[in-house]
Amino acid sequence: MTEAPDTDETQRARLILSLRSQGVTDPKVLDALEKTPRDLFVPNLFQDRTWEDSALPIACGQTISQPFIVGLMTQALRIESRSRVLEIGTGSGYQTAVLSRLARYVYTVERYRTLMGEAEKRFRHLDLLNVITRFGDGGEGWPEQAPFDRILVTAAAPDEPKALLAQLKPKGTLVAPIGRGAEQMLKRYTGDGHGGFSIETICEVRFVPLLEGVAKEF
C-alpha cells in the first residue's frame, strides 16, 4: 500500500515546527507565519514547494525569501502593535504580509513595477488594509513618511545603509543583510536615543543585492 501524500495543512504545520526548532520562538511571529498563506505568493511552477523551507524564484529574476529567514528577521525587529514599519524590497509581498499582522502600518517599496503590481493584488485579496506601497528606489527610504519605528531591508546593502538609518526613530531598530556578493551578514542596528546605534550580527545570509534606481523594464 502506498501512503497518501501529506496534505497542505500537514506540510504547513511541519514547517512551523521546524522554524521553531531553528530558533524562531516568538509566539506572535510564529502565529503570523502560520496565518500567512505562502501559496498565494509562490509562482504556479513552484506550488508543490510552497511549504519547503527554501527561497524560490519569482518574476524579474528575484526571489521569495526562505520562511526561516522571514521568521528570523521578523523576530529580530521586535515589532510592537503600534509600530510603523518600513520594508525595502517588496518582492512577492510575502514578508510584507507577515509584517502586516504584527505592525500598525507597513510601508513597502519595490523597484520593479511588475512585482509591485502583483504584490498589490495579493494585499487587496487578503484585505491587508494597513499595507502602503510605493514603486521607487528603496535605498532612499521614504522621506515623506519618516521617521519609522522599524526598518527591514530584504535585499543586501553593500555597506551601512546610512540614508535608511537617518529615517529611523531615535530608539528604533533596523534589520538588514549587509555585504557584497556571497559575503553577507544579517545585522541589527538599535538606536541609543542620542543618534548612535548598537550593532549586532545575527547570522550569515544570502540575498539578492539592493540595487540603485528603479528598474527601467518590467
Active site residues: 65
Residue 6 identity: D
Number of residues that bind ligand SAH (CB under 6 A): 23
Q: Whole-number minimum distance, CB 207 to ligand SAH, in Å?
A: 7
Q: Which of 112, 142, 148, 189 binds ligand SAH (CB under 6 A)?
A: 112
Binding mask 121-140 for ligand SAH (x = CB under 6 A): ----------------xxx-
Answer yes or no whether residue 211 interacts with ligand SAH by CB under 6 A: yes
* Helix intervals (H) in the chain: 8-21, 27-35, 67-77, 94-100, 113-125, 162-165
Answer yes or no whether residue 79 interacts with ligand SAH by CB under 6 A: no
Answer yes or no whether residue 161 interacts with ligand SAH by CB under 6 A: no
Q: Which of 183, 144, 141, 137 lies closest to 165, judged by CA?
A: 141
Q: Which of 36, 28, 132 lies closest to 86, judged by CA?
A: 132
- On whether the CB atoms of residues 156 and 209 are closer than 8 A, the answer is yes
Using CB under 6 A, list all residues that contact ligand SAH.
62-65, 88-89, 91-92, 94-95, 109-112, 115, 137-139, 154-155, 208, 210-211
